[in-house]
Structures are given as C-alpha cells and as structure tokens.
Structure 1
Amino acid sequence: MRQITVLGSCGAFPEPGRACSGFAVDWDGYRLVLDLGYATLPRLLAHWPDGALDAIAITHEHPDHCVDLHGLFRMRLYGGAGKPRVPLYCPPGVLDRLQGLEPDVDLTAVFEVHSLPGSYRAGPFELTGVSLPHFVTNAGIRLQADRIALAYTGDTGPDPLLAELGRDADLFIVEATDRPGETQRPARNLMTSAEAGYWARRAGARRLMLTHFWPGNDRAASVAAASAQFDKQVLAAEEDLAVTLGETQRRRH
C-alpha cells in the first residue's frame, strides 16, 4: 500500500469534527507523518492504533502544525519503554517550542532529531526540506521514492522555490489559507487557493491537494479558484481522505 491519509486540514485552529495540519504516509508499510497539529494525534491513532511510526517530519513550530507531537512524545515516553527513538525531521524551533510545554523532560529521549532544511535518507524516501517564507522558519518537504514524488509546502508565501519543491510531483499538497486581506499584506507568509493552483502548474505537478483552510472558508470555492489556475485534478484535504500515491484512485476509510 502506498497512500497518504489526511489527519487534519484546518489552519490556525480546528473546526468542529476536524483537525489542524497533519498527514499520514504509508509506503509499503513504512509509516511517516507530516505535521501533527491540534487534534491530529487521536486521528492518527484511529488509523494506526499501535502508534508505531518509522519517521516524523514537521514543517515548522506553529502549534497548528506541531503541538500534538508533544502528545505522541508522552505516549512513547510513558507507554513505549524500550522502543527505539523515532527519527524526527524538523527546524530547530519545533523542539524549542515543545520543550517549553514540559521543560523538565528530554525530548531526545524519544526523538532522534535531524534538522531541516536539509536532505536525508528516510527509509525508502529521499527526504528534502526546502526553506520557504513564513513568520518562522518553515521547511517545505519533498519525499521521493521509485520515481514518485510527494511534496508538501507547510505554510508559505509565494516563492519561486515552490516550483522546485513540487517539480513533477505525483501529489503536491499546498497551503491555501485564503486568509482575508492576505494579498494586501506587505510581507506574504501565506497563500490563496488561486496562488496554490498557479504554483502547482508552474511545478508541473500531476495532482494538487489544497490544505490549511482558514476556518469558515468555503472549500468548494477554494477548489474552484485553484482549478482556474491548474487544469489537472484538484482535491480539497478532508479528514480521513486517503489518496493512493502513484495512481489516480482515491478513497475514504
């Protein structure tokens, strides 16, 4: 099985019945999580009840992308004695932020930390973190295996590096916050759905998934705006949506 499952799709804070940013990747049994924002850990455990992970990649330190990593830390610290440490790929600010929640414990007792941006071998993947503009250090993440690429922006403003991050990706997951007034801000640290479509087209991606929706936004309108810029398949991230990698099929649990 080679698929990615949406754990959460909201930006800033979760809407009822949803969660913030998070994705679970299963590649022939190798399990990797991209981001663990608010309310994603229970959803992760609903899919993988044992909580067994091979790797974690966190794009940046904002809590809507990383706070449930602390819950996973506690689960493994107190309930997983003797288990090997989990490789964690993230910018340094992620551990600094989580350490503030519980300064008397050592996060590296559970996590084997690798700094992003950077390039690493993670199981079957070549994992590459690319620096993209945001309010804090943010690493867009590209996973490549067997000539199939999955790319995820984390949070970002418009930037030419997006075209390289998502170059020929089978699935390009792009933030489409559509925050009111975003395009009028002097420094762009988030994007609109139309911009997501534009950069997916520039990248030559095969499919686009919009995520990080501002709570209350019309997701159908976001898909329509992205589709005006990108003439291939556009998906809206929806909790529990599973997308097969390397194929055009998709399904729900």
Structure 2
Amino acid sequence: MRRLTVLGTCGAWPEAAGCGASGFLLEYDGYRLVLDLGYATFPRLLEHCPAGELDAVVITHEHPDHCADLSALSRARYFAPERGPRLPLYCTPGVVGRVQAMEPTESLADVFTVHPLPARHRLGPFRLDAEQLPHHVPHAGLRLTAPGLTVAYSGDAGPAPALARLAAGADLFIAGTTLQDGDPDDPHLLSATTAAAWAGRAGAQHLLLTHFWPGSDRARSVAEARAAFAGRVTAAAEGMVIDLG
C-alpha cells in the first residue's frame, strides 16, 4: 500500500473545528513516516497509525504550525508501557529546542534519534534529499524517492531554484501555498500560481496545495494554480487519502 494521508492543511493555526495545521502521513509498503506535525495533527495521526507504529518523522522547520504536535508524539511514546527503540527524527536546527521548551522534565533524546536537515539520508525504502529553501527560519524542502515513487514537499518556504530539483519528475508535489494572487509579495512564501509555475518547470505530475491561510478561498487557489499548470491540481483537505499506486 502506497498512499498519502492529509493530517492538516492550515497555515498559522487550525482555522475551524476539525482542522489541523501542516501534517502528512506517507506510507510505502508498510513503512510509515510523518512529514510535519503541526497543531492538532497528532489526534488525526492516531486515526490511521498508532504512535508506536511509525518508522520516522521529518520536520521541515521550527514554526509551531509544523512541529507543535511533535511534543504530543514524544509524550505518547515516552509514557507508553513499552517505549521501544528511539524513533528517527529528521529536522532542521531549532526544531528540537523549540519542542523541548514545552517539556520541562522529559527529554526528547529519550524518544528520538535526531538527524540534521538539510542533508541526504536513507529512510527505509526512501532516499531523502533535503535542500535549504527561503523562509523566516532555517527550512528544508524535501524530496523522497523510492522504487516507482517520488514525493516532493516545499513545506512553508518561498521560491528558489532548489524547488525545480526537489520536484523534478515528482509523482506528487506537495506545496505550501499561503499567498494568493494580489497578496503582497513575500520572498519567504509561495502562492498557488508560483507553486504551479515551479511544478510545471519541474515536470511534476500532481500538485497538492496546502498550508492555506485561515479564511482564504481555497477554490481560488486551485483556480490560480490550474491557470498556470497543465497537470493535476488538488486542494488538500483533512482526512484526504491519495493513492500513490
């Protein structure tokens, strides 16, 4: 089974009951990894995967809408009747310190083995290639490649040439698209139009829009992306499952 499950889609904070911030569960032939764990994503993760059955966690950067529920995962594993081996955690500088600050007594080092990003790593069936992307804090864009599948993830970053490398030929390109056409330019964020242009340049097959600013018109973002990209465009929604073949 190869699929992506959307745990949360909101930028900044969950905009309504039932929503979550950034988070995805990627499954490949029994291997399970999480991409980001923002506000309110951990309860949705438990609907699909018990905390003890994860194989790895990847966090793009230290903003809490991408890492806050790493604290919940840490506690669930720390206090489990059988804690098990430490879970590989791949993250940028600042993530561990940010999450550890919420936990005054239990050390994240007792739960996770930390590996730095951006870098290249092997995660089960995946090769992880991560590159620095422009944002307000250190941020890693991701490319995950396994036999027959490539998934790219921009996180919450702005445009850069690295996007073309990360998303080159990707079956699925997950793009944080906070901005809409007409919003003030921000070199640290993407709009749907800009993400679509990079998806086309990279030859990606399917563009999944996410990280919507609370109150924004998601249908508008989809329309803007479709005007700039000939491939498949989808707006992420909590609980959505995408079959990856």
Tell me the TM-score range normalised by the shorter chain: over 0.9
- Structure 1's consecutive aligned runs of 4 or more residues displaced over 3 angstroms after TM superposition are 179-185
Q: SS at the partner of 1:184?
A: coil
Equivalenced residues, count: 244
Measured in 2, the distance between the counterparts of 1:189 and 1:2 equals 31
Measured in 1, the distance between the counterparts of 2:52 and 2:181 equals 37
1:214 lines up with 2:216 in the alignment: no
Could you tell me how far 1:179 is from its partner in structure 2? 6.3
Instruction: Please name the residue that 2:62 is paired with.
Output: 61
Instruction: Please name the residue that 1:18 is paired with.
Output: 19
| Contact residue 51 and residue 77 of structure 2 kept, 8 A | no
Instruction: Please name the residue that 1:242 is paired with.
Output: 241
| Contact residue 181 and residue 193 of structure 2 kept, 8 A | no
Could you tell me how far 1:104 is from its partner in structure 2? 3.2
When structure 1 is superposed on structure 2, of 99-108 and 165-174 the one drifting more is 99-108
| Contact residue 24 and residue 33 of structure 1 kept, 8 A | yes
Query: TM-score by structure 2 length?
Result: 0.96
Could you tell me how far 1:72 is from its partner in structure 2? 0.4
Equivalent positions of 1:192-231 (< 5 A) are 192-231=191-230
Q: After superposition, what is the alpha-carbon deviation per residue over 1:10-67, rounded to whole angstroms, capped at 9, x for unaligned?
A: 0000021210000001111100000000000000001114541000000000000000
What are the ranges of 5 or more consecutive residues in structure 1 without an aligned counterpart?
247-253
Measured in 2, the distance between the counterparts of 1:124 and 1:182 equals 40
Quick one: structure 1 residues 182 and 97, their matched pair in 2 at CA, closer, same or farther if it must change by over 3 Å? farther
Instruction: Please name the residue that 2:9 is paired with.
Output: 9
Identity %: 55
Q: After superposition, what is the alpha-carbon deviation per residue over 1:132-174, rounded to whole angstroms, capped at 9, x for unaligned?
A: 0000001011110014200001111111111111000000001
What are the ranges of 5 or more consecutive residues in structure 2 without an aligned counterpart?
none
Could you tell me how far 1:81 is from its partner in structure 2? 3.0
Instruction: Please name the residue that 1:250 is paired with.
Output: none
Equivalent positions of 1:167-182 (< 5 A) are 167-178=168-179, 182=183
Instruction: Please name the residue that 2:150 is paired with.
Output: 149
Quick one: structure 1 residues 50 and 82, their matched pair in 2 at CA, closer, same or farther if it must change by over 3 Å? closer
| Contact residue 179 and residue 214 of structure 1 kept, 8 A | no
Quick one: structure 1 residues 135 and 50, their matched pair in 2 at CA, closer, same or farther if it must change by over 3 Å? closer
Measured in 2, the distance between the counterparts of 1:73 and 1:80 equals 14
